[in-house]
Amino acid sequence: MRARFDHALFIALLLGLVTVLSQTVLIRELMIATGAFELVVAVGLSLWMLFTGAGAVASVLFPILRRPFAPPVLLALVAIIAVGQLFLVHPVAALFGTVGGMALSVPAMVAVTAIVLAPGCLVGGLAFPACVATVRGGAERTGLVYLIESVGMALGAALFYLFMEFFSPVRHPIFLAHYGERYRPEELVLSRDGRSGRLDVTRRGDQTAYFWNGQAAGVAGPSRPAEAFAGFALTQRPDPRRIAVIGGLLAGTAVEVARKSPEAVVTVIESEPMFEEVFAAGTVGRNGVLRFGDPGAVLRELPPQDLIIIDLPAPSSVSLSRFFSREFFSFLQKDNGPAMVLVVGLSGGQGMLTPETAALNRSVQLALRAVFRKVLLLPASRHLWVAADNDLPTADPVFIEERMERRGLAGDWFNTALVQDVIEPMHRELTGAAIEKADARENRLLRPAALFETLRHTARRLDRPLPSLFSSLPSRPLSYLGVTFLFAVIVAVALSRLTRRRMAPARSAAIFAVSGGAFTLQLALMALLQLHVGQIYHLIAIFTVSFTVGLTAGLWVSRRMVLPLNLSAGALAFLSLATAWSADSATGAAFPVAMNFLAGLSAGLSFGTLLRGSGDGGGAAFYLADLVGAALCGLLFGAFMVPLYDLRWVFGAVAILALAGMAAGSVRERASGR
Amino acid sequence: MDRRIFPALIFLALTLTPAFFYLSGRSPDDVSLLRKAEYAEPLSGGKVRCELCPHRCTLSDGQTGVCRVRRNIKGTLYSLVYGRPVALNNDPVEKKPLFHFHPATKTLSIATAGCNMNCNFCQNWEISQAAPDSVTPYDLSPAQVVALAKKNGSDSISFTYTEPAVFFEYMRDIAKLAREQGLRTILVSCGYLNEKPLRELAKHLDAANIDLKGFTDEFYRTYTTARLQPVLDTLKVLKQERVHIEVTNLVIPGANDTENEIRELARWVKKDLGADTPLHFSRFFPKYKLTARPPTPPVTLEKARAIALKEGLRFVYIGNLATDAGEDTFCPKCGKRIIDRSGYFIGSNLLKEGCCPFCGETISGRWR
């Protein structure tokens, strides 16, 4: 009997480990296969939890799962299916696109994610109640299995970094051969996973092309877009001695800037350290210096710069949006003095502004205007925003042409004809007016309006424009919260009714709310981590470990002492409000990670209390309430709210969820007479 | 309370929420602001068939065509974009690209929303794949457009960026007025237009650049949702109508870049349009939904140009790429460089009254 007990717990441990590893790998692969739209991360995590919850519920249909052999068999199946899922990702995505490698519409992206994730998640969902049924532990067995599975998840998350380094799928020849097919007729010559994404390099004929997260990012050697961007940027600051380029390595801008400024020291700052393996020191010429790290941290170490050029992808994530925020611009201003000129590249399109791109440009324009005395627009195919506290920047074509000639910047593409085309009076006037009229909020660190507009633009590109109701949501936080909370309450009540025979409805509702609050807090803290630290793919392991270690500790403590739910769920609410209060302080990685541990701890303590005496049949009901609560609340109050509102609203929503959990828990306690 | 109420509530919430969000984005049609569309055939039951392009959409009341801009409202077909352009620029004519038509002049370029193709590589997808109510238009009558062109010193007006065929009535009225006032007119199109409206339009056109996107029907069906033959027919009609024609082929890696396809395309252009027809091979840049392909390798474009020249075409160009000779015009007889171009910049134009200054050969085109 003792052996069976250990055996099932060991299976639960391995289940947690395998689940976390496969989750991280599959969601990144889905992101690459579906067009690098980061919404797939939220969709993937939510579907993961929903399918796992569905699997847990479905387990009641299979009495055979109560047999001792069931957990190891299910674990083996989860592991085997995970490998199959990895190989399925790209072929399934190809089914939904008319041609290979095509970016998918939002419904197609959801469908691909669901098809790929469903098999493994459903089997994983069956495994949890199977483990609960086969361990000893009486009424506390659900809590025990949850604890052990959490330990497994913590181990899996810790192993993730090693996994990424040594067992990354793109380093495996079999996977690489299969993966390379998406680039045919190009030949995939290199593929590397890094902290913030995947770099693929292809070659065909005389051309080497770079792909970032599966999307074309640039080619080696001269290119017209890079020449135009660098040319216009360099005319904005006469005779710069020190130039910093943030990004622009893959797009070729950095190389072009260094090539055209032989007299200046050009520091190219890339936040992805993996690029160091791929790009040699001389890539940006003899006067260029490649630095890897967070741009803010690197710039702090450098002497004041004369010209700073930001050439980053569109602000499609919280970590990218910060480089277009008022706070970052303010830092650049203070760090570099009044002689500095800042040039920011942003999606534009000559005369092709959609309401979303106009609003995106407006949000950045407002942020620049809040900081700098002079802000100009050069509306090229990629818009250049020029800002300074001096009078050096100019949009006068005569001055630009004069500077171009004097410094020998003219080339095959960047020449007087292009200058006159970009700064053609009617074009400039109409574009400027469209941006001024756009309804957008200033892009701030904690309120990433640029991210919201970029997401709207991506939705238009992949599918269709979001209805006008969406664009009005940013100004209606209370309406949004009211409707979404009502929806969450309906789902929580429905779930508790569905599982009332296995678990008291109030207990289920409390688990739903606490789980939703804890997961939303985790997402909000992840956003905070991105805002202050940058790309965090490499930190996800540490971050997830911090939560699961806290969760595990909470569950362990609650098995030894009974803590009132008011204390643990109240702690969750307090933590959230405390984080909101200090959200705009640059605290480094330690603060969000520590808060995440405490969030896990309070969730673990709450679950421990709520699971006490949940009985034999409570496993599936608990898992369902936990996962659906986390998935739904994570989407509604985390993934959707972060780009819509100030991050502090999200922390407020977490506090409300925790308080709702306390209220539901107190109903349970009153009902049970405790 | 019956516990079945809860699944029902969830079902309602899940179905009504998207419906509410979808409906909130729609606005009713105000017919008084719209212009009746031409080339519409009324059918029984309030249906209408649009005869403007080869799609020949049959539309029930409230339905909009493939182009997104022609809608059946109570049995009558309306253009939703007449007088409502969404893009206006004063471009160099080389940007169209037209290399043999009044070089170094400005052309007022205008477009409304909508397109009758759905190319997954569209370079102007922001407006071409947009419904009129999802982008912000200007309000400009044909007379105002012509006045704007004159005010900005434009030599011509170009209907471009999206597919001008979808704003046929607006384009025709502008073109007619522009010609009356001494401006030239240019059509930059995918060539997906039926013969009757095309012949009507051609009377008011000076030049056209037609995008021959590929040379197999399979490519057209897979990448554009259209067909090849109607585009070839358009080119032949424009030739018959004596409109100056240049042809552009966007070379997409792995899609339409085989040597055989390029050769067949060049042969057809020579046979059906003439060896003097300028052909532009344009470099693809990843856009819209085709973002997992690299830009066209330079060697592919060089090879395409060499093939077309070998097939007997006299003026073959490479666009969107810096090359030694790809954008320059050479005399087909003596081989000397006559027009030197760098992007939109004309370094030198040695042409003398449409002839080579070195050997006197007539260079096909419409020159100033």
B13–A97 C-beta distance less than 8 A: no
Whole-angstrom distance between the N-terminal and C-terminal Cα of chain A? 34
Best of B2, B6, B96 to substitute, by most chain A Cβ atoms within 10 angstroms, is B6
**pLDDT for residue A331:** 95
Tokens coding A569 = 């769920």
Tokens coding A376 = 């100009």
Q: Domain A476-674 belongs to what topology?
A: Growth Hormone; Chain: A; (1.20.1250)
Q: Which of A544-548, B50-54, B357-361 has the lowest mean pLDDT?
A: A544-548
Q: What is the pLDDT of residues A206-232, one digit of tens each?
A: 899 999 988 999 998 888 889 999 999
Does residue B99 have a pLDDT over 90?
yes
Tokens coding A285 = 């010429």
On whether any CB of chain A is under 8 Å from the CB of B88, the answer is yes
Best of A181, A412, A436, A493 to substitute, by most chain B Cβ atoms within 10 angstroms, is A412
A424–B120 C-beta distance less than 8 A: no
How many whole angstroms separate alpha carbon A89 and alpha carbon A175? 11
How many whole angstroms separate alpha carbon A225 and alpha carbon B289? 19
CB proximity list for A226: less than 8 A, separation 6 or greater? A218, A248, A251, A252, A253, A255, A256
Does residue B190 have a pLDDT over 50?
yes
A461–B120 C-beta distance less than 8 A: no
B346–A101 C-beta distance less than 8 A: no
What residues of B are in contact with residue A256 (Cβ under 8 Å)? none
Tokens coding A469 = 């109701």
How many whole angstroms separate alpha carbon B47 and alpha carbon B61? 6
What residues of B are in contact with residue A211 (Cβ under 8 Å)? 292, 294
Tell me which residue in B148, B292, B344 faces A216 most closely, judged by beta carbons: B292
Question: How far B125 CA lies from chain A's nearest CA (Å)?
Answer: 8
DSSP string, A320-388: HHGGGSHHHHHHHHHHH-TT-EEEEEEE--TT---HHHHHHHHHHHHHHHHH-SEEEEEESSEEEEEEE
How long, in residues, is chain B? 368
On whether any CB of chain A is under 8 Å from the CB of B298, the answer is yes
Tell me which residue in B255, B291, B298 faces A207 most closely, judged by beta carbons: B298
B300–A352 C-beta distance less than 8 A: no
Tell me which residue in B131, B290, B297 faces A205 most closely, judged by beta carbons: B297
Say if residues B337 and B328 touch (Cβ distance below 8 Å): yes
B294–A224 C-beta distance less than 8 A: no
**One-letter amino acid identity for A304?**
P
| Closest among A100, A95, A97 to A185, alpha carbons compared | A100
Phi/psi at A550 (nearest 5 deg)? -60, -45
Question: How far B239 CA lies from chain A's nearest CA (Å)?
Answer: 31
A332-371 residues touching B, CB cutoff 8 A? 349-355, 357-358
Does residue B4 have a pLDDT over 60?
no
Q: How confident is the model at residue B229 (pLDDT cuts 50, 70, 90)?
A: very high
Q: Does domain A221-462 have CATH number 3.40.50.150?
A: yes
Q: Which of A1-5, B201-205, B356-360 has the lowest mean pLDDT?
A: A1-5
ipTM: 0.88
| Closest among B205, B197, B173 to B107, alpha carbons compared | B205
> To the nearest whole number, what is the mean pLDDT of chain B?
91
Element (DSSP H or E) covering residue B210: strand B207-211
| Closest among B298, B260, B321 to A205, alpha carbons compared | B298
Tell me which residue in B94, B120, B253 faces A204 most closely, judged by beta carbons: B253
**pLDDT for residue B42:** 95
How many whole angstroms separate alpha carbon B208 and alpha carbon B203? 12
What residues of B are in contact with residue A434 (Cβ under 8 Å)? 136
A209–B292 C-beta distance less than 8 A: no
Parse chain A into domains and list their residue ranges: 1-136, 182-217, 221-462, 476-674
How many whole angstroms separate alpha carbon A420 and alpha carbon A594? 55
Distances (CA, A) of A504 to A510, A538, A561, B353: 10, 41, 22, 93
How many whole angstroms separate alpha carbon A19 and alpha carbon A75? 10
Element (DSSP H or E) covering residue B333: none
How many whole angstroms separate alpha carbon A37 and alpha carbon A317? 10
**pLDDT for residue A381:** 81
Those residues of chain A that have pLDDT short of 50 are: 1-4, 673-674
B197-226 residues touching A, CB cutoff 8 A? 222-223
Q: Tell me the average pLDDT across B319-325.
A: 87
B129-188 residues touching A, CB cutoff 8 A? 130-131, 134-136, 138, 148, 152, 161
On whether any CB of chain B is under 8 Å from the CB of A176, the answer is no
On whether any CB of chain A is under 8 Å from the CB of B268, the answer is no
Q: Which of A58-67, A104-113, B2-11, B346-355 has the lowest mean pLDDT?
A: B2-11
On whether any CB of chain A is under 8 Å from the CB of B258, the answer is no
Tell me which residue in B6, B127, B286 faces A352 most closely, judged by beta carbons: B127
On whether any CB of chain A is under 8 Å from the CB of B95, the answer is yes
- On the CB side of B298, CA atoms within 13 Å amount to 15
Tell me which residue in A426, A437, A494 faces B10 most closely, judged by beta carbons: A494
Tell me which residue in B24, B87, B292 faces A352 most closely, judged by beta carbons: B87
On whether any CB of chain B is under 8 Å from the CB of A95, the answer is no
B320–A216 C-beta distance less than 8 A: no
The H-assigned helical ranges of chain B are: 5-24, 125-128, 142-151, 168-180, 195-202, 217-219, 229-240, 259-268, 298-310
